[in-house]
Amino acid sequence: MSSLSPAKANPASAPVHPAPLRIGLIGFGCVGQGIYDILLRLPEFGAEVRRIAVKNPLKARTLPAEHFTYHADELLADPDLDVLIEVIDDANEAFRLVSAALRQGRRVVTANKAMVANHLPELVALQQNHGGTLLYEAAVCGSIPIVRTLDAYFGQEPLRSVSGIFNGSSNYVLTRMGTDGSDYAPALAEAQAKGFAETDPTLDMAAFDPRSKAVILAAHAYGVLLSPAQVLNLGIEHISATDIAYAAVESQKIKVVAGLYLLPDGQLTVLVTPQLVSRESPLYGVDEEFNGVVIEAEFAGTQFLRGRGAGGYPTGSAVLADLAALRGDFRYAYAKLRATPLAYTTDLELEIYLRTDNETLLDQLGFTDITEEADEDGYIVGYVPLDALLQHRDALRKAGAFVARTGNVRPAPAHSAASQELQAVSS
């Protein structure tokens, strides 16, 4: 009489489970905590945080003190860590750590958009020269997979434009102002109370944050490496109920739109400003802390991606995707960097809505056409040179002026006999 016994596994047919990724985590704020929690909830993913480096030993944290080291260089020196994840808020220190890791040929994931935008040419060169890999999906638009979409899916196809709402904090404030009739200050306070805006909201509200993201996407979408200073960024710090009402009368909303536009002459321009957005735009319905990206491709047509743009879990999900990609030896192709680079231009005229009581600014901006003017509300609509906006953007902020573009763009008269207007894709 025979007894039943468990069948022996056939080694040739047994599934092969990769060894767990050993993670070194630099930073344990909102995003770092989110990544840690996600990996705990997904043990089947096969990644474990072995070491965590933080800066402040006195800060209260959700884990006991023995889980932390206070010297991030210890993680760089640890050969047993497979991947380093950098999620600190100091762009200079982040670059020091990330560049050192890449010189070691290591695999790194970062969520620091300012660091990547300010040093992208160097980071690309470090990867090429030392064999390391840097992924940064989490640096742009939170949970929306826009970097890899542009790099891999649209790595060869020409793109007419990439535009969208890249900052959830300012979008939340604008939503509250538009739906509740809130003034700017209480809407910002609400965003801060809910964790959507920082205590110092300058990077978000003055559009420095979405400008960094636009610079990163320019490299993947068009193969153009830009300095952030080359890109116009104007924010919403001085927006008022008057501006919201002006948009509403026209059945529009004000959104901070980052736009990368391929012009008819084959040159690229990048703009990050408040914009009057019509109901026909996919961005019109992107509210609260959500982000949205519109891709206008030459052959694929229009693509629209929408998702949560900030927070520990949405950003952590992008880090998780990068970890999975690293396990498959994925690295950015930067396919369009190899081609002849596009020329970048600011030699354009934009139609803007400007509200200010500073007449000196009107002279400095040099309006070439006035299409609308309301003295009682203190606003003017018309065309100004983009270079003038770049030159005087700090003066606009200091004067408390508010600027929004209508979406209409045309060539500067000195370089085009035609005055035909070019309608921006996401107006």
More confident of the two residues 200 and 121: 121
Residue 62, pLDDT score: 92
Judged against a pLDDT cut of 90, whether residue 18 lies above it is answered with: no
Residue 416 has pLDDT above 80, yes or no: no
Q: Per-residue pLDDT averaged across 126-138, rounded?
A: 98
Within the chain, which residue ranges are assigned CATH 3.40.50.720? 21-135
Tell me which residues are annotated as active site: 213
pLDDT for 138-172, tens place per residue? Answer: 999 999 999 999 999 999 999 999 999 999 999 99
d(CA 34, CA 133) in angstroms, rounded, equals 23
SS3 157: coil
**pLDDT above 70 covers what percent of the chain?**
92
Length of the chain in residues, anyone? 427
Tens-place pLDDT, residues 261-319: 999 999 999 999 999 999 999 999 999 999 999 999 999 999 999 999 888 999 999 99
Backbone angles phi, psi at 32, to 5 degrees: -60, -45
Sequence-ordered alpha helix ranges (H) in 197-303: 202-205, 208-222, 241-249
CATH class of 21-135: alpha beta
**From CA 371, how far away is CA 124, in angstroms rounded?**
45
Contacts of 126 (CB under 8 A, 6+ apart): 99, 102, 103, 132, 134
Tokens representing 345? 């231009």
Q: Is pLDDT at 7 greater than 80 in this prediction? A: no
pLDDT score of 66: 93
- Looking at the DSSP bridge assignments, the partners of residue 278 are 252
CA distances from 155 to 161, 294, 343 (A): 14, 16, 18
DSSP code string of 161-207: EEEEE--HHHHHHHHHHHHH---HHHHHHHHHHTTSS-SS-HHHHTT
Cα 191 to Cα 198: distance, rounded to the nearest angstrom: 9
pLDDT at 16: 56
Q: What was the pLDDT predicted at 349? A: 97
How confident is the model at residue 339, as a pLDDT? 66
Comparing CA positions, the residue from 66, 69, 97 lying closest to residue 84 is 97
List where CATH 3.30.360.10 sits in the chain.
Answer: 146-423
Q: Encode pLDDT of 43-89 as tens digits.
A: 999 999 999 999 999 899 999 999 999 999 999 999 999 999 999 99
Q: State both tokens at 414.
A: 């000195």
Give the integer Cα–Cα distance in Å for 411 and 408.
11
- Residue 213, helix vs strand vs coil: helix
Place of tokens 């005229």: 349
Q: What kind of fold does domain 146-423 have according to CATH?
A: Dihydrodipicolinate Reductase; domain 2 (3.30.360)
> Residues 330-341: what's their mean pLDDT?
88
Give 273's strand partners: 257
Q: Which of 206, 199, 210, 423 is nearest to 309 (CA)?
A: 210
Our CA angle for 267, 271, 275, nearest 5°, is: 130
d(CA 341, CA 252): 36
Phi, psi of 376 (to 5 degrees): -65, -30
* pTM for this predicted structure: 0.92
Tokens found for residue 79: 């050969």
